[in-house]
Amino acid sequence: MNILKPAQAVLLNADLLPTILSEFEENQDEMFLYLFVNKTWAATLVRLLWKAPIWNSPRSYKLFLRTLRKSNATFAYGKLIRRLVFEPIKNREQPTFGNDDLKLFSIKSDRITHLTFGQTDNFFAAEAVCELVKNNPNLSGFAATKPCYNIAWLNIALSPVINGHCLKLTQLEIQNMRHFLIFLDYWPNGDYSDDAICQTRDLIREIGFKCPIFALDINVHIDDAMADMITQTFKSLKILHCETVSCSALKILLPYCKKLKWLSIAFSSEQPSDDIQQEIGSQFPSLDALNLFLPPHDWSPFTKALAPNQTNLRRINLFGCDSVTDEAFLPIAKCCVRLEFVGLICCQLLTDASISVLARNVSKYLKNINICRIPKLTDVSIIEFANNCHNLEKFVLDNCKKVTSRSLTLLVRKCKSLTELSGDYPRIIAAKIVSTLATQGNTKLQVLQIHSRHDPDSNIIEGKKYRRFDLGLLEKLADKCPKLKELELKCYITGLYPNLLINALYKLRNLEKLFMEPKQNLNREHIMKLENHPRLKEVRFEGGCSEDAMLYIKERNKNRKGMFIHVKPTY
């Protein structure tokens, strides 16, 4: 009989920790530091349990694995793990894991619900993954996205699922390439032979027969045969992501997928007639989210048939739809009035005629908009967003050269719920945006990412008199936007004297991530002082560091501990 120590008896269940901490609005991650013994690897467990770690470093993962191997550890930490994710850590040195580490998790962790094998440098043998899957019967989500995880690997790794050991699996993602590769004329990775496609279809069918899958993310082209298999096997499908799909396959698929709520598809390169477009568009179920890639063609008959049934649509993302015109987008702008997220990326033909209509119609619901490379967009649409969308929380605008500071500063002043503001602007516009924030303030803003470029044409449009972006403006920003957590200013800022800059950064008390281009040389002492910032976890500089500072950063990074600092050299 196992007798628990007093400390073990009062340990909170892992499922309760995120629930409890979600009630605390700020600094949830660092609260985990007070729940575990070893502060270096406690953050690693945060990632395994719930969210990204506090200090991302190979050292913390190694220490955590060392603790798991101990036979006399105070707590059974392995049993706390619910999510095990192997993915690249942005801007960090990648931890190294081997098959022995995976076997350790197989022995120590039998309550994992989600497994993800992403595109890291680590490669795991299919047999090791198979053992881990088999020892976690409560698995509800599995994802494998690394190119070398081919169909032969998947057949072995997922054999416990096929054999009925994981009857709770509801989410399956198997891809060896990402969605953006649909823009290439060929697939550099993956086996697209007829045999591989048949094996993939058979594997998905076997899993679908055994498990109540409702979310399916696959890297294959859905043809008629695949569509038939999906309709016969996945009766409760709510989420479907695929690479490409034929119109004939959609005609088979859509009538039997009435429960679909989230759909991501790219139409194949065929050019359907108006009648076929109308037939397909009218068969779409009422969705919550729709991601679309439409190849060059007139798609207005499709959208006119699609939009009237999408009155409850909350998210839409049109990516690379450079043939979509205002005529095609207007039905969506008029009918989909409950949109909370809108992504319009590289939709070259759209103009204010349809986007301003969208802004007026989604005024009460819109929270997040991402607009990139729409050359005909002007201040007219941005002013409509500013005047109508006062619940807007995230605004991203990149490479829309006809938009000026007149509309952007108005949006900053009127949208007081903004938590994230990002974009690529000419220098003069970037300075005016930051100046407006520093003057008007925003107590909710957490992320500010401004990239500026030298654009002589914008100087002519804006006029030469404008507020210079200097250190004083940065200090005012700290005062007026106290909740800033991420600050990325790839801008020309004057007066960045090292001591004054460090003092200004200390005024940003909640800052966790920083990216700047300091023009004056920061020395070793400045970096050491920056390390003592109360919450700063990640610093990236583009130039601006002296030789002794660079040597110190190189030496400290060898220890792989604490704040991450990276300096990109300038030439």
Its sign, for the CA torsion 39, 44, 50, 51, is: positive
Residue carrying structure tokens 């220490």: 63
Is it the case that residue 248 has pLDDT exceeding 90? yes
Binned at pLDDT 50, 70 and 90, residue 291 comes out as: very high
65 membership: H or E segment, kind and range: helix 58-69
Q: In the predicted model, what is the mean pLDDT of the chain?
A: 85
pLDDT confidence of residue 179: 37
Is it the case that residue 560 has pLDDT exceeding 90? no
| β strands within 502-570, DSSP E | 513-516, 538-542, 564-568
Binned at pLDDT 50, 70 and 90, residue 38 comes out as: low
- Beta-bridged to residue 345, according to DSSP, are 319, 372
Binned at pLDDT 50, 70 and 90, residue 220 comes out as: confident
CA pair distance 472, 375, nearest whole angstrom = 34
Residue carrying structure tokens 């015109």: 325
Its sign, for the CA torsion 106, 107, 108, 112, is: positive
Between residues 239 and 90, which one has the greater pLDDT?
239
**Which of these, 207, 324, 306, 314, lies nearest to 254 by C-alpha position?**
306
- Beta-bridged to residue 369, according to DSSP, are 342, 395
Lowest-pLDDT range of 290-294, 302-306, 460-464, 529-533: 460-464
Binned at pLDDT 50, 70 and 90, residue 20 comes out as: low
In terms of phi and psi (left: phi > 0; alpha: psi -120 to 50; beta: otherwise), the region of 261 is alpha
Q: Mark 278-310 as b/e (b = at least 16 C-beta within 10 Å).
A: bbbbebbeebbbbbbbbbebebbbbbbbbbebb
Most confident range (mean pLDDT) of 200-209, 264-273, 299-308, 446-455 is 299-308
Distances (CA, A) of 146 to 157, 169, 178, 241: 13, 20, 10, 17
CA pair distance 398, 419, nearest whole angstrom = 18
pLDDT confidence of residue 519: 77
Distances (CA, A) of 425 to 256, 356, 492, 542: 46, 21, 12, 18
**Which of these, 55, 34, 120, lies nearest to 84 by C-alpha position?**
120
Percent of the chain at pLDDT exceeding 90: 57
Q: What is the pLDDT of residues 448-501, one digit of tens each?
A: 999 886 665 655 556 655 556 788 888 899 999 999 999 998 877 877 788 989
Q: Are 30 and 54 in contact (CB under 8 A)?
A: yes
SS (H, E, C) 455-482: CHHHHHHHCCCCCCCEHHHHHHHHHHCC
CA pair distance 73, 87, nearest whole angstrom = 27
Distance of CA 504 to the CA centre of its chain: 30
pLDDT confidence of residue 37: 47
Is it the case that residue 303 has pLDDT exceeding 60? yes
Q: What is the mean pLDDT of residues 139-154?
A: 88
Binned at pLDDT 50, 70 and 90, residue 76 comes out as: confident
**Which of these, 471, 481, 473, 480, lies nearest to 503 by C-alpha position?**
471
Q: Are 360 and 380 in contact (CB under 8 A)?
A: no
Q: What percentage of the chain's residues is helix, strand, coil (to nearest 5)?
A: 40, 15, 40
Q: What is the pLDDT of residues 340-366, one digit of tens each?
A: 999 999 999 999 999 999 999 999 999
Binned at pLDDT 50, 70 and 90, residue 18 comes out as: low
Q: What is the pLDDT of residues 384-433, one digit of tens each?
A: 999 999 999 999 999 999 999 999 999 999 999 999 999 998 888 888 89
Binned at pLDDT 50, 70 and 90, residue 53 comes out as: very low
- HSE (side-chain half, CA atoms, 13 Å) at 70: 12
Alpha helix stretches (DSSP H) within 141-241: 151-157, 159-162, 194-210, 224-233
- DSSP annotation of 330 reads H
Residue 275 DSSP SS3: helix
In terms of phi and psi (left: phi > 0; alpha: psi -120 to 50; beta: otherwise), the region of 13 is beta
Q: What is the mean pLDDT of residues 92-103?
A: 86
Q: What is the mean pLDDT of residues 517-528?
A: 88
Task: Please count the other Cβ atoms lying within 10 Å of the Cβ belonging to residue 247.
Answer: 17
In the chain, the domains with their CATH numbers are: 107-117+124-270 (3.80.10.10), 280-385 (3.80.10.10)
Q: What is the mean pLDDT of residues 515-533?
A: 90
In terms of phi and psi (left: phi > 0; alpha: psi -120 to 50; beta: otherwise), the region of 420 is beta
pLDDT confidence of residue 182: 36
Environment class of residue 434 by beta-carbon count within 10 Å: exposed (0-12), middle (13-18) or buried (19+)?
buried
Q: Are 370 and 342 in contact (CB under 8 A)?
A: yes
Lowest-pLDDT range of 37-46, 232-241, 279-288, 548-557: 37-46
- DSSP annotation of 571 reads -
CA pair distance 14, 2, nearest whole angstrom = 20
